[in-house]
A and B are shown apart, each in its own frame.
Chain A
Amino acid sequence: MNKKTIEALQILSISLIWLLFTGIAVWIVSLIRESLRLHDAPDASVGISIVAIPVFFTLAAILTYVFIGLRKGRKEETEP
């Protein structure tokens, strides 16, 4: 496999991870909305779920940061 394909796959995999985590966040938000509508969940669980969403996005952000950081930190191949 040549370099371009591999790079494309890497970017695809990171995008899929963002998609997955966004899906998880949407799910948690829908859980919160349902419990507010039926109003039978202890408020603590609503609060904790709200904390859970940034956790997932932070993880995805760290992964993206590492990916971009590693690409940027590469020795340039065309350096004189």
Chain B
Amino acid sequence: MKWGMVIDLQKCTGCGECAAACKLENNVAIVEAKESEMGRTMLWMDMLTIYEGEYPRLRVRQIPRPCMHCDHPPCTKVCPVRATYINEEGIVAQIYPQCIGCRYCMAACPYTVKSFNWYKPEWPPGMDRATNPDVSVRPVGVVEKCTFCVHRLQMAKEQAKFEARDLREGDFQPACADSCPTGAIVFGDLENATHQVNRLAHSPRATKLLEDLGTEPKVIYLKEVD
């Protein structure tokens, strides 16, 4: 079982719904405006702005960028305490109580996907009661990143066990895939031939970010057609 994601750039409108849904689902802290200007915004799912061409034929688009969950992660190699590691199902996980906040993984990630809790996370009044009870709130001083909503995987597995069956394709969807209005984000088991991701991953439009680095990311982008 290898969880992976396909993002179809033809269908993606750059609306940013995935980024918002991810923040709400995973209790990602909201930082103050001053902090955000410094570059401390915490976005597990970020929108990359890509400029193509030159004026007057300039194209700007935004593409979603979660954690790539690489099969050869540069971040796990450098963690001195195994607070980030890759599990058997291919998810690069974070162990928040283990992290000592050395930020080496942040420096090593070529995709710059990791966020850090520079201060104790706080929410505006009222929003602190809207946090997701299934996801732990991280303390100050630890690194965090997209986990492919692994808490949903836990719940789906428990549900499947309770019902004495295997996991089905639709059982486990991260918040971004769930919320995408155009269905551009497809998620599933890359090794299971019945899953849609498996088929899409082999599409002739499939490409990966920074493929030449050998990180083997499991987030595959489908290039636009026109």
Contact = CB atoms under 8 A, between A and B. Distances in A.
Contacts of B77: 40
Contacts of A40: 76-77
Nearest to B76: A40
Contacts of A38: 82
3 contacts: A38-B82, A40-B76, A40-B77
Which secondary structure characterizes the binding site on chain B? helix
Interface of B: 76-77, 82
B185 to A, nearest CB: 30
Interface of A: 38, 40
A8 to B, nearest CB: 39
A13 to B, nearest CB: 31
A36 B56 CA distance: 58
Contacts of B82: 38
Nearest to B77: A40
A44 B216 CA distance: 24
Nearest to B82: A38
Contacts of B76: 40
A36 B77 CA distance: 15
A7 B82 CA distance: 45
A40 B77 CA distance: 8
A38 B82 CA distance: 11
Nearest to A34: B82
A35 to B, nearest CB: 10
B5 to A, nearest CB: 24
Nearest to A41: B77
B73 to A, nearest CB: 11
B92 to A, nearest CB: 13
A20 to B, nearest CB: 21
B224 to A, nearest CB: 38
B124 to A, nearest CB: 42
A39 B76 CA distance: 13
A28 to B, nearest CB: 14
A56 to B, nearest CB: 20
Nearest to B86: A40
A40 B82 CA distance: 11
A38 B79 CA distance: 14
